[in-house]
Amino acid sequence: MFAVKTLSLPEIRSIYTDHVTRDFPPDERKPLDAIEAAYARGEYQCFGAFEEDSLAAYAFFVRLRRKDETLYLFDYLAVLPEKRDQGVGSRFLQALMADALAAADCVLLEVEHPDYAESEDERALRLRRLAFYLRNGLTDTGVSARVYHVEFQILSLPVGKPRNPAEMADIYRALYRAVMPRWIYDKMVEIPI
């Protein structure tokens, strides 16, 4: 049985400690206390995919309520190593779109831009990730960004109303500004639109 559920703060702490620290390099990890603070403000939400009551995948999101909209940005998405290459990631994304995030007004995801890879192996890996997301229904927003010196292509889930690249860039900026001090944002986030 495959089920997706919203994670509690103790579950988030446990997954961060046991999995995020393994699945993401130190320079890509937010401090746990920053995640906890955003969660306490209602600006962070996490989901887990479970098979037979065992964690198979997880997704952490920055969440922003702006005007009458609820906006999300994937912060972390990972399938546990022993569950990879079994379709878990696709089932998880489909379940998120069909249920947990179906009422969202916009959901964005950053994928490392293939054109900025430092080697052909890295480019191939980035193209494989991009193809996975596109195969699973995400679309290219037409927005690129540089965050902490990493070049990203910004994709979106097919939820909410259609938006043009300028609107998508505005949402992306708002999501980062919600959880990042202004002086860091001004120094580390570039969105050329």
Judged against a pLDDT cut of 90, whether residue 181 lies above it is answered with: no
Stretch 34-41: mean pLDDT: 94
Helices (H), the chain: 9-15, 21-23, 32-40, 88-95, 120-135, 165-179, 182-188
Tens of pLDDT, residues 107-127 = 999 999 999 999 999 999 999
Tens of pLDDT, residues 140-164 = 999 999 998 889 999 999 998 999 9
The Cα–Cα gap between 40 and 33 comes to 10
Q: 57: Cβ–Cβ under 8 A, 6 or more apart, which residues?
A: 48, 49, 77, 78, 79, 80, 83, 88, 89, 92
pLDDT attached to residue 193 = 63
Instruction: Please give the model's pTM, rounded to 2 decimal places.
Output: 0.92
For the chain, list the domains and their CATH numbers.
2-190 (3.40.630.30)
DSSP state of 109: E
pLDDT attached to residue 23 = 93
* Percent of the chain at pLDDT exceeding 70: 99
Task: Kindly state the helix (H) or strand (E) to which residue 49 belongs, with its residue range.
Answer: strand 44-51
